[in-house]
Amino acid sequence: MKHLLLFFFAICLLPNLAQSKFEWPVIPLPNQYQLKSGSFLLSSKTQVFFTSRKLENSYDNLNVYLKQQLGFNLSRSNDSTQANCVVLQLRSASLQSAEAYTLNITANKILIQGDTSGIFYGIQTLKQLINADTKSQIQLPCLSIQDQPRFTWRGMHLDVCRHFFPTSFIKRYIDFLAMYKMNTFHWHLTEDQGWRIEIKKYPNLTKVGAFRKGSMVGKYSDSKFDTLNYGGYYTQEEVKEIVAYAQARQITVVPEIEMPGHSQAAISAYPWLSCSGKAQDVAKGWGVFEDVFCSKDSTYHFLTDVLDEVMALFPGKYIHIGGDECPKTRWKTCTQCQALIQREHLKDEHALQSYFITRIEKYVNAKGKQIIGWDEILEGGLAPNAAVMSWRGEDGGIAAAKQNHKVVMSPGSHCYFDHYQASPGDEPLAIGGFTPLEKVYAYNPIPKSLNAQEAQYIMGAQANVWTEYILNEKHVEYMSMPRMAALAEVLWTNVENKNEANFLKRLQKHFALLDKMQVNYAKGIYQVNYKVRNDVKGNDVYLELLANPYLGEIRFTRDGSDPRMESEKYTAPIALTGNIQIKAALFQDGKIKSRILVRNFDNNKATNKNLIFTKEPSKYYNAGHFVMVNGESASLPRMNDQWLGWSGDDMEVVLDLKQVEQMQQIEIGFLKEELNWIYLPREVQVFVSQDGKLYTPVGHLASAEIVDERHAIFKLAPTKARYIKVLAKNKGKIVAGMPGAGEDAWLFCDEIKVK
Ligand code: ACM
Ligand code: ZN
């Protein structure tokens, strides 16, 4: 009996055994299913039976897919009992939600039941099952699926302002969402760099505000611009077409009309909307701009007029009003804004922002709609009915849920698809960050700090695709796919049913469909990543190679040759000695799947030695002291975990070599990214000591002497020392005219080398 019980518990404890068996390329994974024996033969002779006109969209959606993939359509039948038939049956009452569906495949019949949206989702599952085989006669496995989503807000955002995308691409993007059973498309339509929606009452918004006289080129820190006229907008007819296209695919379009900040394009069209009233150009560069909507009656009239037209176009419940990143500079010196602060007894400009949003909310609510805004709308007090989109981490979403406000999670850490998804050196230029597919897949939109009652306010999550660095359609696809697939499973599939290994198995098969659809998806999942580690007991430094174990094995070389299947298999961290180059790649079934990772290490006298800082680096840029003595210079573009940074403070550090050493060169790496507030030191001084008490100066360099604006190199006469002190003087306050003027400059250091 005891043994039987143990056996029983052992079975219960086996994780996701049943789920991990589902290996057809269906994404997101259905929540419940039973696999059966036998198969249904789908061919051009198969027919479809349904009676309700509400199901025509689903039928068309299936046929468009079949035509594209297999070259035939299925005709309609008027007999539900006919053999070899797909039956779509409206049946909502017994299902848990309007989005739930059941799909039963038997040898004779495919039966999909649900509400209109449920049946559409059943069709999506069926389409993905069909992709499991590419012959003209498709054998579909007999099975039974009962499925419903975990969250009600399953969203993707697209910024069409920094770069503009035609309606043909918006439809393709919506097709991607539909394929993954996403139900919300957040269309970011207005920005500093362009107003993209026709508003009949204010034609200059698109005539003037939709075009800029140049765009930023390359890295923000390069501060380079072209002079090309750039822009575009959607007519109201096109907007209606997109809304209808989305609706037919069970997707609600949430328009975003940004206020009070990110409004320079509107101001360029109607300068009286700003505090100064001065003429402005549509912004060419990225960032946050100080000219924002003035909080005066004429602005509110304008905005409510705009919202009237917007609300008439978008039938959904939510209107996104932005609310993020609104500098208060202009409001502080504006007589009209200040008069309003007085009249309404507001505490300050933050309270004025809250007043702004609340006043707009009242208007939107009166028209039967709700507002949603970025988490800054919490500052100065949340408008009574507003929903919050949490982007600066989850704190805003947590605070809102605790105040019984609806929340959509979209934290930068997991949901910003403009971030890198593999090592930046191998990727197209991106805004920064690091959000690989595995990280997206691991996301849980319900924070641990919420209790069950509070958690009910989390409607779901969405990913944001900001397009400062995304110039064309293929690049949007690259940044959003396949991360969209991972997010879709986060939002649809219950946590207990998720399984990364199984997801990756299905995903790799699903790639065949993306290939057929000519989707430019990223292959970063195969990337080999690395970490340099130290052995705190001894002096050794190791290179740890990292790749997803479900995707293959790592092979590497130490002699500069390219890794092959016959090369050494990576099993444990590699000891790094002297000057060494490691090349590594991922292999699956004997084939190379990744780009080759190349890392150079320069093991020197400073490597893995102790650093004692007078002032520790800022908590925001402190990846640990070891990054400064790991033998490896940071790569560019910057990854924050390779740097230590100080805001306003000097870097003063003593390097203890543990014993007196002979040396001839000391090299220290710094970073210049002035547009991001990071400056080279004003001056670098180096001192040496044998006892740690008496220090002798051995050199100093001015900013201009830093080689390639990157390395301060001190060539010494042969010197003996145990301690090296480096004093790098911070630039101080940022001068007028530069981003961050008046604020403390940052000082960034990546490496000290002693030879
Ligand atoms: C945002 O990323 N500024 C919402
Ligand atoms: Zn003003």
Whether residue 104 is predicted with pLDDT greater than 50 in this model: the reply is: yes
| Cα 391 to ligand 1 centroid, rounded to whole Å | 6
pLDDT band of residue 635 (cuts 50, 70, 90) is: confident
Is the shortest distance between the CB of 153 and ligand 1 below 6 Å? Answer: no
Whether residue 6 is predicted with pLDDT greater than 60 in this model: the reply is: no
Q: Percentage of residues in the chain with pLDDT exceeding 90? A: 88
| Cα 429 to ligand 2 centroid, rounded to whole Å | 37
Whether residue 136 is predicted with pLDDT greater than 80 in this model: the reply is: no
Q: At 643, which amino acid appears?
A: W
Whether residue 646 is predicted with pLDDT greater than 60 in this model: the reply is: yes
Is the shortest distance between the CB of 426 and ligand 1 below 6 Å? Answer: no
According to the model, what pLDDT value does residue 455 have? Answer: 98
Ligand 1, from 324, 326, 375: best to mutate by most atoms within 8 Å of Cβ? 324
Which of the ligands is closest to the CA of residue 462?
A: 1
Is the shortest distance between the CB of 570 and ligand 1 below 6 Å? Answer: no
Which of the ligands is closest to the CA of residue 322?
A: 1
pLDDT in tens, 389-413: 999 999 999 999 999 999 999 999 9
**Closest-lying ligand 1 atom to the alpha carbon of residue 412:** 2
Distance between CA atoms of residues 422 and 294, nearest Å: 42
**Closest-lying ligand 1 atom to the alpha carbon of residue 374:** 4
Domains present along the chain, CATH in parentheses: 2-147 (3.30.379.10), 153-493 (3.20.20.80), 527-602 (2.60.40), 610-754 (2.60.120.260)
Asked if 695 and 688 touch (Cβ cutoff 8 Å), the reply is yes
Burial class (CB in 10 A: 0-12, 13-18, 19+), 73: middle
Whether residue 95 is predicted with pLDDT greater than 80 in this model: the reply is: no
pLDDT in tens, 443-480: 999 999 999 999 999 999 999 999 999 999 999 999 99
CA atoms within 13 A on the CB side of 531: 12
| Cα 352 to ligand 2 centroid, rounded to whole Å | 10
143-152: average pLDDT: 97
What's the predicted TM-score (pTM) here? Answer: 0.87
Taking CA atoms only, the protein residue closest to ligand 1 atom 2 is: 391
pLDDT in tens, 7-52: 444 333 333 334 448 999 999 999 999 999 999 999 999 999 999 9
251: phi then psi, degrees, rounded to nearest 5: -120, 130
How far is residue 254 from each of residues 178, 240, 608, measured CA to CA in Å? 15, 13, 52
Whether residue 699 is predicted with pLDDT greater than 50 in this model: the reply is: yes
203-223: average pLDDT: 94
Is the shortest distance between the CB of 288 and ligand 1 below 6 Å? Answer: no
Distance between CA atoms of residues 395 and 412, nearest Å: 12
According to the model, what pLDDT value does residue 536 have? Answer: 65
| Cα 94 to ligand 1 centroid, rounded to whole Å | 41
58-82: average pLDDT: 95
For the record, the structure tokens of 212 come out as 């800029």
Ligand 1, from 376, 391, 417, 431: best to mutate by most atoms within 8 Å of Cβ? 391
pLDDT in tens, 309-343: 999 999 999 999 999 999 999 999 999 999 999 99
How far is residue 74 from each of residues 63, 126, 131, 316, 426, measured CA to CA in Å? 6, 14, 16, 32, 45
Listed residues: CB within 5 A of ion ligand 2: 275, 294, 334, 336-337
According to the model, what pLDDT value does residue 13 have? Answer: 39
Whether residue 749 is predicted with pLDDT greater than 80 in this model: the reply is: yes
| Cα 328 to ligand 2 centroid, rounded to whole Å | 10
Which of the ligands is closest to the CA of residue 376?
A: 1
Whether residue 108 is predicted with pLDDT greater than 90 in this model: the reply is: yes
| Cα 165 to ligand 1 centroid, rounded to whole Å | 19
Which of the ligands is closest to the CA of residue 291?
A: 2
**Closest-lying ligand 1 atom to the alpha carbon of residue 464:** 2
| Cα 434 to ligand 2 centroid, rounded to whole Å | 38
Taking CA atoms only, the protein residue closest to ligand 1 atom 3 is: 324
Distance between CA atoms of residues 558 and 545, nearest Å: 13
Distance between CA atoms of residues 122 and 63, nearest Å: 14
Is the shortest distance between the CB of 286 and ligand 1 below 6 Å? Answer: no
| Cα 207 to ligand 2 centroid, rounded to whole Å | 25
359-387: average pLDDT: 96
Mean of per-residue pLDDT scores for the chain: 94
Which of the ligands is closest to the CA of residue 352?
A: 2
Classify the C-alpha dihedral 724-744-674-702 as positive or negative.
negative
Which of the ligands is closest to the CA of residue 389?
A: 1
| Cα 194 to ligand 2 centroid, rounded to whole Å | 22
According to the model, what pLDDT value does residue 2 have? Answer: 37
Which of the ligands is closest to the CA of residue 295?
A: 2
| Cα 307 to ligand 1 centroid, rounded to whole Å | 21
pLDDT in tens, 498-548: 999 999 999 999 999 999 999 999 999 999 999 999 876 666 899 999 999
Is the shortest distance between the CB of 392 and ligand 1 below 6 Å? Answer: no
Is the shortest distance between the CB of 391 and ligand 1 below 6 Å? Answer: yes
Q: Prior bond to 428 cis, omega within 30?
A: no
pLDDT band of residue 133 (cuts 50, 70, 90) is: low
Among 648, 653, 614, residue whose Cα is nearest residue 750: 653
According to the model, what pLDDT value does residue 199 have? Answer: 98
CA atoms within 13 A on the CB side of 340: 23
For the record, the structure tokens of 159 come out as 């910024």
Whether residue 92 is predicted with pLDDT greater than 70 in this model: the reply is: no
According to the model, what pLDDT value does residue 115 have? Answer: 94
Three-state DSSP class for residue 278: coil
According to the model, what pLDDT value does residue 97 have? Answer: 87
According to the model, what pLDDT value does residue 425 have? Answer: 80
**Closest-lying ligand 1 atom to the alpha carbon of residue 416:** 2
Is the shortest distance between the CB of 325 and ligand 1 below 6 Å? Answer: yes
Distance between CA atoms of residues 644 and 199, nearest Å: 48
Q: Percentage of residues in the chain with pLDDT exceeding 70? A: 96
Three-state DSSP class for residue 668: strand
| Cα 215 to ligand 2 centroid, rounded to whole Å | 28
Is the shortest distance between the CB of 374 and ligand 1 below 6 Å? Answer: yes
Asked if 728 and 749 touch (Cβ cutoff 8 Å), the reply is yes
pLDDT in tens, 270-309: 999 999 999 999 999 999 999 999 999 999 999 999 999 9
**Count of all residues that appear for the chain in the document:** 755
Distance between CA atoms of residues 163 and 158, nearest Å: 10
Is the shortest distance between the CB of 433 and ligand 1 below 6 Å? Answer: no
Is the shortest distance between the CB of 412 and ligand 1 below 6 Å? Answer: no
Is the shortest distance between the CB of 230 and ligand 1 below 6 Å? Answer: no
